[in-house]
Each structure stands twice: as structure tokens, then as C-alpha cells.
Amino acid sequence: MNGKKPVLEIKGLRTQFFLREGTVTALDGIDLTIYENESVGIVGETGCGKSMTAFSILRLVPHPGRITAGSIKFKGNELTTIDMDRMRSVRGTKISMIFQDASTALDPVFTIGDQLGEVISLHQGVYNRAALEKKIIEALMLVRIAAPKDVMRMYPHELSGGMKQRVMIALALSCHPSLLIADEPTTALDVTIQGQILKLLKALVATTGSSMMLITHNLGIVAETCDRICVMYAGRIVEDAETFELFENPKHPYTEGLLSAFPKLGEKKPELPVIRGTVPNLMVPFAGCPFVDRCDKAMDACSKKRPPRVEVSPGHFVSCHLWSGGDVRG
């Protein structure tokens, strides 16, 4: 990609949960590459595997789940096989994550300064009080928090939702990671504050040189923030393209359905279209395309054979039999 090196390379990743009732395949062979200083949006319905992709990258898949196949390479180093001590050194320092709800992610009994200080001390080895305070103030100033000396002495309950989220971003960026994973970072915020946080994230990625993986169900957010978009459905990435290309030329029927349900400024419709049916049961294995029962363009091959990943134009990939040949079901 324009001579840029890949920061993250995922190939054939499968993550499964082994329950009494059966096996849930949360991620089913996904391929994803994120390059230097690139922002990639991961979109899709709730339960499609967006957050599980992030947890798998960080080796934080909750019990009874585990990665059962595939490769995750960070700057050429395989993450699925390294020991947990080395993995802990990757988290926070090289790959950081902003979680959905800052109110639950921040510890209510410690000040903001204490929590930032712990992260900086752990990952950067800074223990001198004056040097540590300087680092904390720098981290808060990076996310444009006014009066950082006052804020570092406050507790989370004393801050607004937007301020808490800025603190979460400061925590994630305090050790200058190469990859920032933002999991629904504006979920609990009002529209005005959402805009401020997204503008801040975009600016920080540009100025720090970090790459970002932004997880959201909101197409408007990725349209404003990301260079490229990956559309997920039932544990698979079904389409991957640059943002403008995806909005202008969607190829997968699921992507087309998502975009048609997205309201456009100035466009008047009596009601927005919906995608019929429901998501498949991930406990039931399927040989073909998981979208087959909801798709108006399904072919005979769709229920029998997994669609291959096809490059339909430079940098635009889709996993759909419509683009790999076959006869449309009558």
C-alpha cells in the first residue's frame, strides 16, 4: 500500500467458544491487514465479531474461548504463539485499546493521575515523582484536556463522559503504541461530544504516526474517520475497500443493505429499508455464505461453498459468489 509497511497482518483467524451446548465460531477465518499510519474501520451488526477480533489480537479472549487457527503478526512477529509475559509487554506499549465505556474501564477509587502514572511506570519505567508527573501532564495535554494539573488529582466520578473518554485515550496513547484499537469509543456520548472525540482521534493518528482500528456499528463514524473499511458478518470479513470506494461501489449484498439503511442528508424516504431475516446461529456450522438466507441475489453455490476472497478492483476485496462466477438462483 503506497510503499507502507504492514503493522498488523491477520490470516485465517478462527476464534471459537466451547460451551456445553456446542461450539460457537465467533471468528471464522478472517484476513485483515493494517498498514503504517492507516485508520481502518470495522463495521457490522452486533455480534458479528468486531470486538472479538480486537480481543483475539490482544490475546484477551475470555474463557471458554480460544484462538483455534490462523496467524496474527504484529510488525512481522507472530502473536498467537508467544508466551504471556511477552504478550503483556506488547499490550499497552505496542498495541493499546480504548474500551467502550470509560465509566467502567476507569477505576473509581484512584485518581486520574494515579491511573496514568501506573501505566507509564509499568511500561516506561518512570518512577521519579517529578518526571512521572511531567509525563502524566504531557499525556493529558496530548488529548487537549485543559488544566491537566487539576484533572490528574480528580477521580473519575468528577469528570464528564467526554472528559473520561479523553482520559481513556490518554491512557491508551501514553506509551506511544504503533496500533490503537478503539472499540466503540463514542457509544455512551452525545452527538456533539462524539464529534469532538472522533476529530481528536483522527488528529492524534495523524500527528503520532500510529495506526488505528476503529470498531463501530455506525457507518457515519467510519466515513468521517477511516481510510479503509472492513465489513463483518457472522464472524467473517465480507468486504474490504477504501472508504470512498466502499460507499460509492459496494459489491457485497450485505454491504449494499447496510448502506441503503443509512439515512442520507437531504434524501426523503417514507421509511428506511431493512435487511430481512436474522443473523445465523454461530453454533451451527455452515459450508457456504452465512448471508445466504437473507440475500436476494443468492446463487446455488452460496449454500454449498465458501465464497473466495476476490479483488474486484485495486484494493477492493469481496467474498461473494456474485464476483467469482456462478448461476443466480431463479
- Determine the straight-line distance between the first and last CA of the chain, rounded to whole angstroms: 40
Mark whether 61 and 205 lie in a shared domain. Answer: yes
DSSP 36-71: TT-EEEEE-STTSSHHHHHHHHTT-PPTTEEEEEEE
Mark whether 215 and 321 lie in a shared domain. Answer: yes
Given a cut of 50, whether residue 329 has pLDDT beyond it is: no
For 164-204, what is each residue's pLDDT tens digit?
989 999 999 888 899 999 999 887 778 888 888 888 888 88
The answer as to whether 181 is a domain residue is no
**Residue 38: phi, psi to the nearest 5?**
-115, 145
Strands (E) across the chain are located at 6-18, 23-35, 39-43, 65-74, 77-78, 95-98, 179-183, 211-215, 228-233, 236-242, 309-313, 316-319
Q: Which amino acid is at 207?
A: T
Mark whether 231 and 276 lie in a shared domain. Answer: yes
Structure confidence at residue 1 as a pLDDT band (50, 70, 90): low
Mark whether 209 and 67 lie in a shared domain. Answer: yes
Rounded CA-CA distance 108/158 in Å is 10
Q: Which structural domain, as residue segments, surrounds residue 10?
A: 1-94+186-264+271-330
pLDDT above 70: percentage of residues in the chain: 95
For 215-246, what is each residue's pLDDT tens digit?
998 898 999 899 999 999 999 999 999 999 99
- Among residues 209, 200, 203, which one has the least CA distance to residue 177? 209
For 28-80, what is each residue's pLDDT tens digit?
999 999 999 999 999 999 899 999 999 999 999 999 999 999 999 999 999 99
- Among residues 1, 7, 14, which one has the least CA distance to residue 71? 14
Q: Across residues 265-277, what is the average pLDDT?
A: 75
Mark whether 232 and 260 lie in a shared domain. Answer: yes
Q: Across residues 91-98, what is the average pLDDT?
A: 90
The answer as to whether 57 is a domain residue is yes
Given a cut of 50, whether residue 22 has pLDDT beyond it is: yes
User: Which distant-in-sequence residues (6+ apart) come within 8 Å of 328 by Cβ?
Assistant: 297, 298, 299
- Among residues 279, 53, 51, which one has the least CA distance to residue 187? 51
Chosen domain end from 151, 176, 201: 176
DSSP 198-214: HHHHHHHHHHH--EEEE
The cell 509499568 sits on which residue? Answer: 122
Cell of 29: 477465518
Q: Which amino acid is at 127?
A: Y
Number of domain units in the chain = 2
**Does residue 208 come out as left (phi exceeding 0), alpha (psi in the -120 to 50 range) or beta?**
alpha
Chosen domain end from 127, 155, 176: 176
